[in-house]
């Protein structure tokens, strides 16, 4: 199973959702399908995509938040599973593409390569009720549909091949992605009747 | 030495007065009474993390959502959060308002805190993180509001250091 194929399969469902993706190949493959202002690409700080997802989901109950994680990143922040289990954001879908490899940094084997470490079992052990492992594209698609329909925290560990795109590059600087993503998130929130708190510099003299 | 009930209240009231509605934290002794108040307050959303670096992600998510947020941590937690501070907050110009309990400094009786206390300010300077010390309960509310405002206007991490003078009786 290829991650790019999985992303292509779910793209029509996630292109209007808030999506936080990890760095490297996963970010690029999503971008190559077509950037949306509701996509945030975490190109560093490995492990924190799911934490950003929690911060978003917690404060935006009207949104479905999708986190696209990887085995290498998830292994750097295993505590996130316990934190997610504790707060159980019902509107968060946490997808972990497990390619058993630190692909973006040279393809070294990750701890999940030999099939010893099971991230879905870790998630379940942390207290996340809906955590499944899939190895086929069809199974991935079914797990994704179930997760999107479920009003509960869902984790999907998708076992994929360690392959990525040939060409990397995005047409914006990293802070620009953050600025535009924030604007998009806040506009969507404002549409629910929410009023943003005053910004520094927006009142009084400079 | 006991944690100051009155001054923990002053810090929490300062957080509320600054318009903060969302807090991420990892419990530590000096922050205990504060966190209890946050937990009991229906207008404040408290998210406790397993490790402080997670809170950098949570804070970024809250910022994107438009929710006024502060992070509560010990200085040793700040050390553990450093890559998130640099490679998420600073890299993407995301503000962080960090209230950091500075253990291991003047008057510290516990040896295990001392090494961290000695290097805290040097690390803040190395990361270009502006910081102030909070020592006076009368001034702390204003300092929190100013720290929050500055983090938002500079789109940068900012630290208010909660000192022994403030947090212990």
- Any idea where the domains of chain B sit in the sequence? 5-167
Q: How far is B74 from A149, CA to CA, in rounded Å?
A: 40
Average predicted confidence (pLDDT) for chain B: 97
Identify the pLDDT of residue A105.
75
- B68-116, pLDDT tens digit by residue? 999 999 999 999 999 999 999 999 999 999 999 999 999 999 999 999 9
Which class for A163: exposed (0-12), middle (13-18), buried (19 or more C-beta within 10 A)?
Answer: middle
Identify the pLDDT of residue A198.
75
Identify the pLDDT of residue B24.
98
Identify the pLDDT of residue A205.
52
Mean pLDDT score, B126-133: 98
In percent, the amount of chain B with pLDDT more than 70 equals: 100
Degrees, nearest 5: CA angle A133-A138-A139: 25
- B36-53, pLDDT tens digit by residue? 999 999 999 999 999 999
What CATH code would you report for B5-167?
A: 3.40.50.970
Identify the pLDDT of residue A68.
98
Identify the pLDDT of residue A106.
77
Identify the pLDDT of residue B167.
97
Test A79 with B50 for CB contact under 8 angstroms. yes
Chain A contact probe: residue of B22, B26, B65, B94 with most A CBs at under 10 A:
B65
User: Is some CB atom of chain B closer than 8 A to the CB atom of A122?
Assistant: no
Give the contacts of B33 (CB within 8 A, at least 6 positions apart).
B3, B4, B5, B8, B9
Q: What's the sign of the alpha-carbon dihedral B26, B27, B30, B31?
A: positive
Q: Choose the closest CB to A59 out of B57, B67, B153.
A: B67
> Under CATH, what is the fold of the domain A3-190?
Rossmann fold (3.40.50)
Identify the pLDDT of residue B123.
98
Chain B contact probe: residue of A21, A49, A59, A89 with most B CBs at under 10 A:
A59
DSSP label of A78: T
Q: How far is A19 from A57, CA to CA, in rounded Å?
A: 11
Residues of chain A with pLDDT under 70: 200-206
- Any idea where the domains of chain A sit in the sequence? 3-190
All residues of chain A having their beta carbon less than 8 Å from the beta carbon of residue B45 are 58-59
């Amino acid at each position: 199973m290829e991650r790019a194929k999985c992303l292509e399969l779910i793209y029509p469902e996630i292109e209007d959702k808030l999506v936080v993706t990890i760095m490297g190949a996963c970010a690029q493959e999503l971008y190559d399908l077509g950037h949306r202002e509701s996509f945030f690409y975490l190109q560093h700080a490995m492990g924190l995509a799911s934490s950003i997802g929690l911060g978003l989901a917690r404060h935006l109950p009207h949104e479905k938040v999708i986190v696209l994680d990887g085995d290498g990143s998830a292994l750097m922040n295993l505590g996130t599973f316990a934190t997610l289990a504790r707060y159980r954001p019902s509107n968060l879908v946490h997808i972990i593409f497990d390619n058993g490899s630190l692909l973006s940094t040279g393809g070294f084997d990750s701890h999940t390569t030999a099939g010893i470490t099971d991230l879905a079992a870790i998630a379940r052990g942390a207290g996340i009720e809906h955590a499944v492992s899939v190895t086929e594209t069809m199974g991935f698609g079914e797990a994704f549909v179930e997760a999107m329909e479920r009003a509960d925290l869902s984790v999907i560990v998708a076992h994929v091949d360690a392959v990525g795109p040939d060409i990397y590059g995005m047409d914006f600087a990293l802070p620009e992605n953050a600025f535009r993503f924030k604007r998009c998130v806040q506009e969507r929130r404002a549409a629910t009747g929410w009023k943003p708190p005053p910004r520094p510099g927006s009142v009084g003299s400079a | 030495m006991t944690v100051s009930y009155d001054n923990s209240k002053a810090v929490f009231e300062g957080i509320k007065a600054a318009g903060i509605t969302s807090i991420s934290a990892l419990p530590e002794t000096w922050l205990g009474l504060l966190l209890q108040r946050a937990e009991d307050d229906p207008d404040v959303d408290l998210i406790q993390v397993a490790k402080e670096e997670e809170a950098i992600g949570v804070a970024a998510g809250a910022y994107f959502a438009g929710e006024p947020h502060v992070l509560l941590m010990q200085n040793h937690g700040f050390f553990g959060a450093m890559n998130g501070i640099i490679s998420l907050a600073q890299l993407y110009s995301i503000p962080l308002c960090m209230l950091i309990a500075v253990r291991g400094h003047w008057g510290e009786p516990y040896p295990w805190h001392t090494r961290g206390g000695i290097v805290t300010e040097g690390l803040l300077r190395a990361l270009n993180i502006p910081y102030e010390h909070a020592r006076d309960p009368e001034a702390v509310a204003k300092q929190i509001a100013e720290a929050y405002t500055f983090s938002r206007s500079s789109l940068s991490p900012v630290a208010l250091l909660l000192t022994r003078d403030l947090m212990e009786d």
